[in-house]
Structure 1
Amino acid sequence: MTQHSEPQPHPTTPPAPHPQTTPPTPHAQSTPPAPTPPTTLLSQRAAIILLLGVLAAAAAATLTVLAGGALASGLLAGGGAFIAGVLFFNTIIT
């Protein structure tokens, strides 16, 4: 006859211990983050310089057309005045 032995149980690994959770303290409660300041497209300095350039361009274009020049000549004079105005005001405004 054959010997029958009892099946041996497979060795099992013990379950991992559960991490202990600590109750939240009053200081650990979530606080809203500080609001970040909104970013701007242009700084105040750049906006003023560009505005003064536009004003110089409008004045040059208007004076050119009123002096008897064609509209295209006024627009070209205004473009040149814009570039010159932005360069000039960029230099003198700190």
Structure 2
Amino acid sequence: MNTTIFKTEPIAIKAWAEKRIVYLELTDGRIFGFPADRFRILSQASENQLKAVQIEVGGHALRWEELDEDLTVSGVVAGQFQLPLPRQAA
């Protein structure tokens, strides 16, 4: 049996933020979410600033104009975060 695997770069068609989580809907139907606090600039942003996320570069990038912050969709989907997970209270 021959199996062909096609790898395509993830492309966002929708982005939004709720309760400090940024969500992406991808062209393949997946919905992906990541904590804003995993990125330096986003970790300092207000909830309203996070909600101003825009999709740029044909779905390959996320942009927060007021924060002057850009992230690649492929980077966040691959888990390339700037900051570690916050420690949970024991």
TM-score normalised by structure 1 residue count: 0.23
Structure with max Cα Rg: 1
- Give the number of the structure whose residues are more often strand, by fraction: 2
